[in-house]
Amino acid sequence: MLKKYILPFFIVFVAGFISTNALGQESISMYNMRTLPQTSRLNPAFQTNYNGHLGGLIAPISGQLLPDLDISFHSSSFAYEDFIYQGSGIYSDSLIWALNSHNDALKFVDKLNKVNHFNFGINNNILNFGFRTKDIYWSFNATTRTNVDMSFPGGLVELMVKGNAHPDISPNMDLSGFGMDFTSYLEVGLGASIQVLPELKVGLKAKALAGLANVETVKTDLYLDSYNDSLILQSDIQMRASQPAFILDDLYYDYEGDSLITETTELETNEILNNLGYDFSNPGFAIDIGAEYEITPELKAFASVTDIGFIQWNTNVAEVSGGGKFFFEGIDGVNYIDDNDSTTTEPNIGDTYEDSLLRVFDIKKTGVSSYKTWLPTRIYLGGTYNITDAIGFGGLYRGVLHKGDLRSAFSISANANTNHISATITYTMMEDNFDNIGIGFAGRFGPMQMYIISDHVLEEIFPQSAQDVSIRMGVNWIFGYKKDKAALIE
C-alpha cells in the first residue's frame, strides 16, 4: 500500500548517491584564492600565474592522495542541538529530542520559519586540467554534482504542538512548503579566459550536462481550515521524477480494495548501470560568463554568472499529481509528543487516516514523458583592494537564483596571494545566520599544490550548533609560473 508508494522514491534518492559523489554550493571563500585553478568555477575570467595544472579524482597520485571534494550542508532554521540534546532530571543520562515533552516542543516551534529548508551537496571533480596559450588560459573539467533540498512548513509542527484551538493558530492556515528537489548529473566543461585589454579579462565556459537522477516537487499547496473541533485539509500536489532503477507503469487508488496501487517494472542490474552510463540520454547545457577589470593597479572589480542552463529529463520519467478536500476531527498533539506524561496514549495516525487521505487526494500518474529543470544560477559581484603586491581585502555578493527565489550572501575577506601560497579569511552574512567565519589555504610544494577551504570553520569545530557546514579540499599538479609576477592579481 503506502510502503509500495514510498519505496520507488527512496530508490530514486539512493540511486543518485550511488551514481555520483557530487553536490551543492561552491565555496564562497575560494573566490579570492588566486593561485588556485578551481577559482575559475566561480568566475571563468580568473587566471592563475601558472602555465598549466592537472587535478581530479583520476589524476595520477594527487587524485588518490586527496580527492577534489566539496561538501556542504545548510539548515535554514535550527541546528542539531536544538532538536537532540542532553536531557535533565530522570533523562540526565540520555539524549532526548525536542518533542520529548510539550514544553520542549514549544521551544522548538519558536525556532522554526514559515518554510524550513535543508540543503546538502557534494561536488566531486573527476578530472580538471588547464594550460596557457599566449593571452588565453584554457580549462577543462569533468565533475559529478548532486544537490538535495528538502523543505517543510513550520506551521504544521506548530499546529501539532499547540492544537487548532490555541489563540496563536489561525483558523485558516497556509501549510504549503513541503517539497524535495534532488538532482544528480555529470558536467563536462570547456572554458577560456582571455586578456582582451591590458586591464580587462573576460571568460566563458560551455558545459555539457548528463542528467543521472531527479526528483522535483512542482507544487504542494496545502491549506487547513478549522471549524470548532473539525478540520478541513485542501491539497493540490504535483511531483515528477527521472531515475535509472525502475519504470513506474501506473499509480492509482483502488476504491474497491481501499488502497493505493503502484505498478512498476524493476530493471536488471545491467540495465540500471546502462542508465548510469553517462550517455547523455538526459541531456543538458549550461554556460558560465565572467569578467575582471583593473580600475587601478590596486583596485579591481569582477562579476560572474554561473550555471545558466537546464537538463531535459527523458529516462523512466514519472509524474504524479493529486488534490482534494479531507475532513477530520482535531488531534491533541500532546498525545503524540509528551513522553514525560505516562497517562498519554499515542494513537496511530497512519492506520486511522492513511487510506482516507489517499482516497480523497486522488493520487495518480499523469502522462508526462519528459520534462525540463533549470539549474540554480549563481551571481557574483565584488572587488579587491591591494595594500601590497601580495596582501589585499575584498568584498563579494553572491546570489543563488532558483525557481524565482533569490538567496543572498555578503562576504568580506582578507587575502594573501603569492606565486606559491593563497590564504584567505572571510566573514559572510547570509539571510538566516550571521556567524560564518571562513578560512582557506592553498600551498605549492614543488609541483604539487594542496588546498583546504571552509566557509564555516567555527561550525566545523562545534558541529552540534552548526546550521552550515562546508569543506573543500584537494590536490593539483602545477606546471610553471611567471616569475616576475607576485601580485594578488595579474
pLDDT for 400-417, tens place per residue? 998 888 989 999 999 999
Region 175-200: what's the mean pLDDT? 93
**For position 323, what pLDDT does the model report?**
78
H-helix or E-strand containing 55? strand 50-55
**In DSSP terms, which residues pair with 29 in a beta bridge?**
none
User: What cell does 35 get?
Assistant: 593561485
Higher pLDDT, 89 or 346: 89
Least confident stretch, 146-160, 168-182, 332-346: 332-346
Reported as a pLDDT band with limits 50, 70 and 90, residue 335 is low
d(CA 296, CA 301): 10
Q: Averaging pLDDT over each range in 108-117, 139-148, 245-254, 428-437, which range is the top one? A: 139-148
Backbone angles phi, psi at 5, to 5 degrees: -75, -40
Q: What is the pLDDT of residue 182?
A: 93
Question: Would you say residue 24 has pLDDT above 50?
Answer: no
- Helix 349-361 vs helix 2-19: crossing angle, to nearest 10: 90
Say if residue 488's pLDDT is above 60.
no
Spatial separation of the C-alpha atoms in residues 329 and 345, rounded to whole Å: 17
pLDDT digits (tens, 9 = 90+) for 367-395: 788 999 999 999 999 999 999 989 999 99
Asked whether the predicted pLDDT for residue 6 surpasses 60, the reply is: no
In DSSP terms, 226 is beta-bridged to: 231
Q: Are 258 and 212 in contact (CB under 8 A)?
A: no
More confident residue, 45 or 430: 45
pLDDT at 16 > cutoff 60: no
Which grid cell is 279? 550517455
| pLDDT at 433 (0 to 100) | 74
Query: Nearest CA to 370 among 283, 264, 286, 273?
Result: 283
Joined grid coordinates for residue 79: 541546528
Element (H, E) at 81: helix 80-83
pLDDT of residue 394: 96
Residue 290: pLDDT band (50, 70, 90) is very high
The better pLDDT of the pair 42, 272 is held by 42
Among the residue ranges 231-240, 323-332, 432-441, the one predicted with the least confidence is: 323-332
User: Residues 6 or more apart from 307 whose CB is under 8 A from it?
Assistant: 286, 288, 375, 376, 377, 378
C-alpha distance across the termini of the chain, in Å: 63
80 or 389, greater pLDDT: 389
Express each pLDDT in 239-270 by its tens digit: 899 988 887 877 776 666 667 777 778 877 77
**CA-based nearest residue to 468, from 125, 136, 117:** 117
Instruction: Using alpha carbons, list the distances in angstroms from residue 50 to 36, 38, 47, 88, 131.
Output: 9, 13, 8, 58, 8
The share of the chain scoring above pLDDT 90, in percent, equals 41
pLDDT bin (cut points 50, 70, 90) of residue 101 is: confident
> Coil, strand or helix: which one is 339?
coil
pLDDT reading at 23 higher than 50 = no
> Is 264 in contact with 248 (CB distance < 8 Å)?
yes
**pLDDT the model gives residue 172:** 82
> ∠ at Cα 339 (333, 344), nearest 5°?
60
For all residues of the chain together, what is the average pLDDT? 82
Q: Is residue 228 predicted with pLDDT exceeding 70?
A: no
* CA pair distance 219, 217, nearest whole angstrom: 6
d(CA 247, CA 264): 5
